[in-house]
Amino acid sequence: MAYKRNKNLKDLLVRADIGNSFTHPHTGKNISINKYYTCESRYVVYLNKCPSGLAYVGETTQNVKERIKQHKSNIRCKLLHLPIPAHFHEMKHTVSQLRYQVIDNV
């Protein structure tokens, strides 16, 4: 017999980088972020980062929290036709290694 524990708060949270700048992954240039964003912000451009140093830039009209939850679900469900889950699967990254940062609004 096996038991599966319920999800706890740690399982639901993603580490957000709320810094006021980020480094461009290809050029190494430091880029400033001039506004304050929250997980409820909508119409934003965001940066997903992985431990291997690659970055994915996306935009969403949804709030950030919902979009990141979708990315996490796609990784867990191994939807390999999508770029982020395919990369995470290939590099053997875990959902907990997903990092994101809102960088601008649309």
What's the domain range around 77? 63-106
What is the C-alpha separation between 86 and 106, in angstroms, rounded? Answer: 27
State the pLDDT at residue 2.
63
* 94: in domain: yes
Does some domain include residue 97? yes
- Assigned domain for 54 exists: no
Tallying the residues shown for the chain, one arrives at: 106
The residue among 50, 36, 58, 53 whose CA lies nearest residue 86 is 50
Residue 51 lies in a domain: no
Residue 38's pLDDT band, with cuts at 50, 70 and 90, is confident
Work out how many domains the chain is built from and give that number: 1
**What's the whole-number mean pLDDT along residues 19-42?**
84
The answer to whether residue 31 is domain-embedded is: no
